[in-house]
Chains A and B, each alone.
Chain A
Amino acid sequence: MKLLKTILAAAALSLTLGTAAFAARTDLVVGVILEPPHLDPTAGAAAAIDEIVYANVFEGLTRIDAQGQVQPALAESWSVSDDGLTYTFKLRSGAKFHDGTSFEADDVKFSLDRARGENSTNAQKGLFAGIESVDVIDPATVAVKLKAPEGLFAWNMGLGDAVMVAPETAETNKERPVGTGPFKFDSWAKGSSVKLVKSDAYWGDPVALEKVEFRIIPDAAAAVPALLSGDVQAFPNAPLGDARPQLEADPRLKVVIGVTEGETLLTMNNKKPPFDKLEVRQAIASAIDKTAVIAGNGSGLGTPIGSHMSPASPDYVDLVKTYPYDVAKAKEYLKAAGLENGFKATLKLPPPPYARDGGQVIQSQLREIGVDVEIIPVEWADWLSKVFTEKDFDMTIVSHTEANDIDIYSRPGYYFQYQDPEFNELMDELKVTNDAAKRHDILAAAQKILAHDVPAVFLFELAKVGVWDAKLEGMWENAPIQATDLTKVRWVD
């Protein structure tokens, strides 16, 4: 009996030793489509920057998690004064930048003042415009005073644009990012890959991965064999197109279809005749069969929407049926607008397949009601300067991928050229409202106004197709913000 026990104990011991010897792998190659122009998320809009450094290299006071909820990050807690004007952040002790300097209240003041300063090139400078002052109370406490209450302040502080940087390294973050995250920057071979390694000085739960490489693979034709051959083990935003079934059939891989915050819109220039007439916009909305547009959008994926809100959001109101697909009704709307013979219009399409492919479906659908659409393909640079800045367009298709961005319809000078006093009032109210139930009511009312006014035809919510090795755990299924958070990712056997 004693012998048996000894043997069992030895067996148990060798088992544990065995698992230790065959430890799970700790390296990962992640495929990304676009190379970031640089690696400083506080100085550029490119989603490609956040897709590498957010949560991995850089952290903010708060952070957004996989469900799109605000969580503590470098601030372990915070309190809001009763008037909603002062946020007091209690900072994490023991947090260090990768250059060894510790993270303290001075760094918070520096980061926020830099983002809202005169020479700031922050892509979301507007987020910081409401800050009145940032005051250091002690090395572990910061008070941020606001000019007016801001319902989304804690969320905004969790965005990539609001991450914490050190004064010593802020200027060189573009080339050599230095943050407080669980991974530190290792190297960047331009055009090829960005490498990160585990930081041993991390204040929080240590990450399972030791080495991460983000490999830049701009072409769908190359992404598929890279995944099939195992060269790349995860592709969070995979440009698969027709090849999706091939990957889904492979038992070594997992294909996960998630939702994004990308409301894909057929935007109309609301000040330019004939789109300034509500009936014309209603006619166009009624003439479009959203399911057909989704089927033809390149991936065949997407959820129809009826207003500017993600169906995944708790504040979503189902307004898809506001203008159901009805050609006869669409013609009536046109007649009411005095345009029963139709008209000519241009449709400017930026490069993504959802726009270029979806645009052709829309062109043929609008022909049914006598609207003769000329398609003009444009590059992003061209789109941003001509359509977005100069508002030189009739219609365009673009996905608005920011979360919580319904207020864009109230922004003066925004390219939709839509203004509605009632909607603007709601937005002003929303901005200063903290209470979740009240926010929900305001958002619901706002969605209804937009659904009725159709400043843009709300086509569908963009889907996110992620592919990764079946043995990989902890990847984000949805994309509440653009990020590739690897902090919980690990290999399992």
Chain B
Amino acid sequence: MTLFVLKRLGVGLLTLVAASIVVFAMLEVVPGDPARLMLGMNATEDAVAALREQMGLNQPLAVRYLAWAGGMLTGDFGRSYTYPVPVIDLVAERLVVSLPLALIALFLSTTIAIPVGLYSASRRGSAADTFVMGATQLGVAIPNFWFALLLVYVFAVGLRLLPAGGFPGWGAGFWPALKSLIMPAIALALPQAAILARVTRSALLEVLGEDYIRTARAKGLPQNRVMWRHALRNALIPVLTILGLQFAFLLAGTIIIENVFYLPGLGRLIFQAITQRDLIVVESVVMLLAATVIIVNLLVDLSYAIVDPRLRVRA
């Protein structure tokens, strides 16, 4: 088990080093001068040159890479070119929005999807199953920004129950902050839940054909016990894989929903940084995300071992 974890950690570190080189090199070839972008069309050449010097853009490539990569090792992610603050502060500010949002959405999608998947698998071919399949198909097909706008028009413009968007900050109180995350979380969770429910259902159907299910039924276990204890546990591996992927997506891939609700999340930070050529922010945030994805995948791998004891022995 320890060896398994160490091995995975080693691979993760190598991936990070490779990612850092790729990210740095890629952004170097993207055209656009951050200094010129900040000063605009009427700036004189010497003002642009002065700013380039200030931003450290005139140093050789290798020096800048080493300064950046070395800094990250000591926890220093550099200072943003555009916002005059450390990158880590920017990320922290965005995480207080993105992380709760991702967790709420993940919680919603799992609590909807797993029971629905179980129910529909246990009544395969029934009218209820057909309905669930249709509804989840719809859930996958509906673009989430459209669904988000629908929510806004109903609950913010029509009923005026929830804010149309924005994030007041946790400083404004728990409830106002949470209120502004409800609609985005629902808009994010629904398509995810639809996918997850379908995966749960098909994984369960596969398991339900196994001999041990027949055995469990034969020894007289009630349907519920069979489903939750024997079937679901064995069907969890594909479900966990999807959950891991969904979490990584929810953390930073939610730019569209962030735009609809103008939430200051991580996705928008990256998008903004790319258009403003705030290279250091892009680089550092991508690295942090890469690290998160690697850690989440590691946790998913470990959870396989928890649900399936056989994997523990093999590792």
Is there an interface contact between A120 and B41, defined as CB atoms closer than 8 Å?
no
B38 at the A interface (CB under 8 A): yes
Query: Residue on A with the closest CB to B172?
Result: A189
Residue in B31, B50, B85 whose Cβ sees the most chain A Cβ within 10 Å: B31
Q: Does B93 contact A (CB under 8 A)?
A: yes
B32 and A126 contact, CB distance less than 8 A? no
> Is the pair A37, B82 in contact by a Cβ cutoff of 8 Å?
yes
A190→B94 CA distance, assembly (Å): 8
Interface residues of B in 244-265 (CB under 8 A from A): 259-265
Q: Are B40 and A45 in contact (CB under 8 A)?
A: yes
Q: Is B50 a contact partner of A46 (Cβ separation < 8 A)?
A: no
1/0 contact string of A411-445 vs chain B (CB within 8 Å): 00000000000000000000000000000000000
Within 8 Å by CB of B149, from A125, A217, A221, A231, lies A221
Bound: A218/B31 CA distance, A: 24
Q: How far, in whole Å, are A126 and B277 apart by their CA atoms in the complex?
A: 25
B-side contacts of A217, CB under 8 Å:
165-166, 262
Give per-residue flags for A230-265: 1 if the beta carbon is below 8 A from chain B beta carbons, else 0: 110000000000000000000000000000000000
Whether the pair A219, B260 counts as a contact (CB closer than 8 A) is yes
Tell me the smallest distance from the CB of B211 to a CB of chain A, in Å.
53
CA distance A405 to B41 in the complex (A): 12
Which B residues are CB-close (under 8 A) to A216?
262, 264
Residues of B within 8 A of A122 (CB): 43, 47
Residues of B within 8 A of A225 (CB): 149, 152-153, 156-157, 164-165
A225–B54 alpha-carbon span in the complex (Å): 41
Contact B165 A222 (CB under 8 A): yes
Q: Which residues of B contact A35 (CB under 8 A)?
A: 272
Binds B, one of A73-81, A376-384, A460-468: A376-384
Judged by DSSP, the binding face of A is loop
* CB atoms of B153 and A45 under 8 A apart: no
Q: Does chain B have a CB within 8 A of A92?
A: no
Instruction: Give chain B's interface residue range (CB within 8 Å of chain A).
Output: 35 or more
> Of A46, A119, A221, A381, which is within 8 A of B260 by CB?
A221
Cα A388 to Cα B43 with chains together (Å): 11
Write out, one digit per residue, whether chain B residues 258-282 have a CB within 8 A of any chain A CB (1) or not (0): 0111111100110010011100000
Contacts known (A45-B41, A189-B169, A191-B268); A381 close to B164, Cβ less than 8 A = no
A222-B277 contact, Cβ under 8 Å, with A121-B54, A123-B42, A385-B32? no
Expressed in whole angstroms, the Cα–Cα distance for A402 and B277 within the complex equals: 23
Please state if A120 and B50 are interface contacts (CB–CB under 8 Å). Answer: yes
Among candidates B31, B44, B272, residue contacting A126 with C-beta atoms closer than 8 Å? B44
Confirm or deny: B39 has a beta carbon within 8 angstroms of a beta carbon on chain A: yes
Chain A neighbourhood of B160, CB < 8 A: 229-230
Nearest A residue (CB) for B278: A37
What is the CB-to-nearest-CB distance from A58 to chain B, in angstroms, rounded to a whole number? 17
Q: Do A175 and B169 touch (CB < 8 A)?
A: no
Q: A381–B82 contact, CB under 8 A?
A: no
Q: In the complex the two chains form, is B54's CB within 8 Å of A402's CB?
A: no
Task: Give the contacting residue for A381; candidates B41, B90, B169, B277; CB below 8 A.
Answer: B277
The answer, yes or no, to whether A215 is at the interface (CB within 8 Å) is yes
Q: Tell me if A66 is interfacial: C-beta within 8 Å of chain B.
A: no
**Residue B78 lies at the interface, judged by CB distance under 8 Å to chain A:** no
**Most chain B C-beta atoms within 10 Å of own C-beta, residue among A122, A225, A228, A389:** A225
Find out whether the CB atom of A120 lies under 8 angstroms from the CB atom of B83: no
Query: Size band of the A side of the interface?
Result: 35 or more
Q: How many Å lie between the Cα of A120 and that of B268 in the bound state?
A: 31
CA distance A405 to B42 in the complex (A): 10
A217 to chain B, nearest CB (A): 5
C-alpha spacing A125/B269, complex, angstroms:
30
**Nearest Cβ distance between residue A385 and chain B, in whole angstroms?**
5
CA of A175 to CA of B82, assembled, Å: 11
A125 to B160 alpha-carbon distance, docked (Å): 48
* Given A126-B42, A191-B93, A231-B165, residue A386 in contact with residue B262 (CB < 8 A): no
Contacts of B12 in A (CB 8 A): none
Contact with B along A202-216 (1 / 0, CB 8 A): 000000000000011
**Which B residues between 215 and 241 are near A, CB-CB below 8 angstroms?**
none
Docked-complex contact A189 and B264, CB < 8 angstroms: yes
Give the one of B145, B156, B262 with max A CB within 10 A: B262
Q: In the bound complex, do residue A45 and residue B38 qualify as a contact, i.e. CB atoms below 8 Å apart?
A: yes
Contacts of B276 in A (CB 8 A): 37, 381
* Complex interface: chain B residues within 8 A of A388 (CB): 36, 41
Contact indicator A384/B32 (Cβ below 8 Å):
yes
Please tell me if A82 contacts chain B, counting CB pairs below 8 Å.
no
Q: How far is the CB of A224 from chain B (nearest CB, A)?
A: 9
Q: What CA separation (Å) do A374 and B203 show in the bound complex?
A: 50
Identity of the chain A residue whose Cβ is nearest the Cβ of B165 in the assembled complex: A222
Question: Chain A residues with Cβ under 8 A from B42's Cβ?
Answer: 45, 123-124, 126, 402, 405
Given contacts A191-B268, A222-B259, 19 further A-B contacts (CB under 8 A): A37-B82, A44-B39, A45-B42, A123-B40, A123-B43, A125-B44, A126-B42, A190-B83, A191-B94, A191-B264, A192-B262, A192-B263, A221-B149, A221-B260, A225-B153, A226-B166, A228-B164, A385-B32, A402-B42
A-B contact pairs, 21 of them (CB 8 A): A119-B50, A122-B47, A123-B40, A125-B46, A174-B84, A190-B264, A191-B93, A191-B264, A191-B268, A192-B166, A219-B259, A219-B262, A225-B156, A226-B165, A231-B164, A379-B275, A382-B31, A384-B32, A384-B41, A400-B41, A405-B42
B contact set with A: CB distance below 8 Å = 31-34, 36-44, 46-47, 50-51, 54, 82-85, 90, 93-94, 145, 149, 152-153, 156-157, 160, 163-167, 169, 259-265, 268-269, 272, 275-277
Measured CB to CB, the residues of A under 8 A from B are: 35, 37-38, 44-46, 118-126, 129, 174-175, 189-193, 215-219, 221-222, 225-226, 228-231, 379-382, 384-386, 388-389, 400, 402, 405
